[in-house]
Structure 1
Amino acid sequence: MGEFRRSVLLAPLADGADGGLMSVVQGGIRWLYAFTDEAALARFAQARGAGDREWEYLSVLGARLADAIVPMIDGPAGVAVNVADEDGSMFFPPVVGIVPEACAVDRVDAA
């Protein structure tokens, strides 16, 4: 988890009028896409059949994705890293210890 938080990741920008960061909803969770380097992003682009176009992205710390971006999203959200790499993908779900507790789906609310 510490390495994820300290790593500079590439977060592709979404196409369309809404803008923002590229993501997908799977299993009721919005997953933000992030990549460890341009080669990993290129593999993702190729897998989507869009390897021939230029992809805009932000360079952002993993900690900033988890602590600042995830809380801005309506509903549960996590970070999916290097999703086109069968053996190297990593998922950081919206649980305590990864995202702020207020955003975690497994938080225990005080009675």
Structure 2
Amino acid sequence: MELAAEIAAYRDGRGDPGRLVGEFRRALLLAPLADGPDGGLVSAVSGGIRWLYAFTDEEALARFAEARGESGREWPYLAILGARLVDAVVPQVDGPAGVAVNVADEDESMLFPPVAGIVPDARAVDIVDIVDGVAPDSRGAVA
């Protein structure tokens, strides 16, 4: 099953969390590139989490552009596997980060938060390492 269909099934109560995450990791996603001198991927911060935007196809990206009132410009993007996005890109982000898939689509949108089983354990906000009785700060360094 493709990721968009797996998301729809999960949102409809027929999905399986493990199957959903597996499909996300196998999916080729389109991550729009940010304009400006800093570059990088288009993202937003909400609730203290940086959400990287990713889309299952060009049509989903076009709906996002339209929802932002920016459908009249080109949207360059990086085609990347979901696994590579969370395993290689998320660890490079300063602070907690997750992936927001198809955010402009009511039935095919899904957040993949920075928790164990989705992002690397070192970046998961639900895992607390204790070193000599001291928890790490948000960068993973022991305070």
Aligned equivalents of 1:91, 1:5: Cα separation in 2: 13
Bigger relative CO (Cα 8 Å, ≥ 6 apart): 1
TM-score (normalised: structure 2): 0.76
In the TM superposition, residue 107 of structure 1 has moved relative to its aligned partner by 0.6
Matched, 1:27 2:27: no
Q: Name stretches of at least 5 consecutive residues in structure 1 with no aligned partner.
A: none
SS in 1 for 2:83: helix
Equivalent position of 1:109 in the other structure: 129
SS in 2 for 1:59: strand
Equivalent position of 2:35 in the other structure: 15
Greater C-alpha Rg: 2
Map 1:86-105; keep pairs closer than 5 Å: 86-105=106-125
TM-score (normalised: structure 1): 0.98
Equivalent position of 2:75 in the other structure: 55
SS in 1 for 2:29: strand
SS in 1 for 2:38: coil
Query: Which residue identity does 2:100 align to in structure 1?
Result: A
Equivalent position of 2:58 in the other structure: 38
- In terms of fraction of residues, the more strand-rich structure is 1
Aligned equivalents of 2:27, 2:91: Cα separation in 1: 19
Aligned equivalents of 2:89, 2:72: Cα separation in 1: 29
Query: Which residue identity does 1:22 align to in structure 2?
Result: V
Aligned equivalents of 1:89, 1:61: Cα separation in 2: 17
Matched, 1:66 2:71: no
Aligned equivalents of 2:130, 2:122: Cα separation in 1: 12
Aligned equivalents of 2:129, 2:71: Cα separation in 1: 45
For this pair of structures, how many residues does the alignment match? Answer: 111
